[in-house]
Structure 1
Amino acid sequence: MDQVRFDGILSRHPSQNPDFYNWNRVQIRYCDGASFAGNPESEFKNGTELFFRGQLIWEAIMNELLSLGLSEEKQALLSGCSTGGLATFIHCDNFRDHLPQVATVKCVADAGFFLNEPDVLGIRTILAFYHDVVTLQGVAKNLGKNCVGIMEPFKCVFPREIIKNVRTPFFIVNPAYDSWQIQNILVPVASDPQGYWSSCRLSIQKCDSTQIKRLQGFRDSMLEVLSMFQENKEGGMFINSCFAHCLTVMDTWHSPHSPRINNKVSNDLPCTAL
């Protein structure tokens, strides 16, 4: 089995990770397909048995970590990248509730702020995808009750809805030009049958002026949705113009050449400010 690298915010090297290098670090391997939130009433069967039990995996891991000493920690940080970032949104308050009230607990979601945006054909591909995941895996029961009480549960899996009710101090890290979202939400392969976007969706250096304008529109949507979070005094965010996906787990997380906001370092990924 390949060993998992601990880089970026998980690194044990002070030069790369000055804030958390000497913390106890645990990485939960993603395996369930629904950000550790699935737990259906019945199983789907088509000649084989598929068991979607991400919520139970989360609970089992938490119980194990609590028995190993997490229950006595004075400081704890829950973080994740991509679908792990989405899992951080979903489970942040539950993580907080497992720890002593006197503990300082915070959450950091990296590249998990997925947008409910239409693709270049005007089709909400990501919305349909989340609808299928939530239905198949019984995710609704593990989403915020305030949200599922007023709208369809599959819409409540988007971070813009989740973050409205998170009580725990929260920090969002996300590229405004998230490469995964551009390739899978804005321009999924099925939305580009003629291949007009085939080069641009993989590298913004290969986009023409019309495509750049469309990418800027996606960025504007990201910033507009995040604007409501700016009023949250218990939270913060670092949004840059990188064409990238996941920033905190890279080995260049802390670097003299990293993008900075008010002299605060994010990482050293190649960026293009559009």
Structure 2
Amino acid sequence: MIRYCDGSSFTGNSKKIYNGTKLYFKGARIFESTLKVLLKKGMKSAKNALLVGESAGGVAAMLHCDSFRQKFSNSTHVKCLSDAGYFFAAKKHNFWSKSLFVSIFEGVVNLHRPTKMLPKSCTSKFTPTMCYFAQNVQHDIKTPIFFIMSEFDSVEIAFTTDKSYDDCMKYKTCTSDQINVMQG
């Protein structure tokens, strides 16, 4: 497991100047360099390899799953696991005109310039922003991948509904109408 730390699900490759300071966003290089070191230290001869990430790290596990698989021989059993990395492009219920997650991923694309690291099978059909959503990528992943996602993920609920839904989840007081909205 490579601890998620770069803000772009290890897809960034850009440099920006802000107030005269150079800022580097090199998540893709961090990922590749880390793998290179691990492979040299013996991971290349592993019998089993599992790429795991959670939340935005789960997005990284999904986006890098097939390229991770390519680092090993055919005799190595390689699988990937995306834990809570399945985000939805839904609008916030009765509040926002645009999905918060679409806005977040648009910001990632604009700042990190990840297009070369995103699966071409996705970018040929969707904008780079939409390629951070598992539902637009998962069908083309060749390596076995497992998605773990709570039916009532508290982060998803908080960002796609109003505060009353967050409260009902927290205090277990959801009405049948609220449960229907969340399931929808």
If each structure's helix is expressed as a fraction of its own residues, which one has the higher value? 2
| Deviation digits for residues 81-124 of structure 1 (CA, Å, limit 9, x no counterpart) | 11111111011111100111221111111111111212112531
Please, which of 80, 88, 109 is the counterpart of residue 115 of structure 1? 88
Judged with a 3 Å threshold, the aligned counterparts in structure 2 of structure 1 residues 168 and 196 are, in CA distance, closer, same or farther, namely closer
Pairing 1:73–2:73 present: no
3-state SS of the aligned residue for 2:137? helix
Indicate conservation of the 8 Å contact 1:140/1:154, yes or no.
Answer: no
Aligned to 1:146: 121
Pairing 1:36–2:10 present: yes
Counterpart-to-counterpart distance in 1, 2:144 and 2:111: 31
Shift of 1:47: 4.2
3-state SS of the aligned residue for 2:16? coil
Read off the aligned partner of 1:67 and give its amino acid letter.
K
**Larger Rg computed on CA atoms:** 1
Indicate conservation of the 8 Å contact 2:52/2:83, yes or no.
Answer: yes
Pairing 1:167–2:128 present: no
Shift of 1:214: 1.3
Read off the aligned partner of 1:153 and give its amino acid letter.
P
Q: Which runs of 5+ in 1 are unaligned?
A: 1-26, 218-274
Indicate conservation of the 8 Å contact 1:39/1:55, yes or no.
Answer: yes
Shift of 1:150: 2.4
Aligned to 1:250: none
Shift of 1:44: 4.1
Counterpart-to-counterpart distance in 1, 2:7 and 2:142: 25
Pairing 1:211–2:178 present: yes
**Larger RCO: 1 or 2 (CA < 8 Å, sep 6+):** 2
Please, which of 132, 135, 140 is the counterpart of residue 157 of structure 1? 132
| Deviation digits for residues 165-202 of structure 1 (CA, Å, limit 9, x no counterpart) | 11101111111111111112x13xxxx4xx544623x5
Aligned alpha-carbon RMSD (Å) = 1.8
Identity of aligned residues (%): 36
3-state SS of the aligned residue for 1:206? coil
- Give TM-score, length-normalised by structure 1: 0.62
Judged with a 3 Å threshold, the aligned counterparts in structure 2 of structure 1 residues 73 and 198 are, in CA distance, closer, same or farther, namely closer
Read off the aligned partner of 2:155 and give its amino acid letter.
W
Pairing 1:88–2:61 present: yes
Counterpart-to-counterpart distance in 1, 2:153 and 2:171: 11
Write the mapping of 1:178-257 to structure 2, written as runs, cut at 5 A.
Answer: 178-184=153-159, 186-187=160-161, 192=162, 196-197=164-165, 199-200=167-168, 203=170, 205-217=172-184
Shift of 1:36: 0.9
Q: Runs of 4+ in structure 1 displaced over 6 angstroms?
A: none
Please, which of 16, 21, 24 is the counterpart of residue 48 of structure 1? 21
Shift of 1:154: 0.6
Indicate conservation of the 8 Å contact 2:157/2:166, yes or no.
Answer: no
Judged with a 3 Å threshold, the aligned counterparts in structure 2 of structure 1 residues 197 and 77 are, in CA distance, closer, same or farther, namely closer
3-state SS of the aligned residue for 1:135? helix
Aligned to 1:24: none
Counterpart-to-counterpart distance in 1, 2:37 and 2:121: 30
- Give TM-score, length-normalised by structure 2: 0.90
Counterpart-to-counterpart distance in 1, 2:164 and 2:81: 36
Counterpart-to-counterpart distance in 1, 2:135 and 2:166: 29
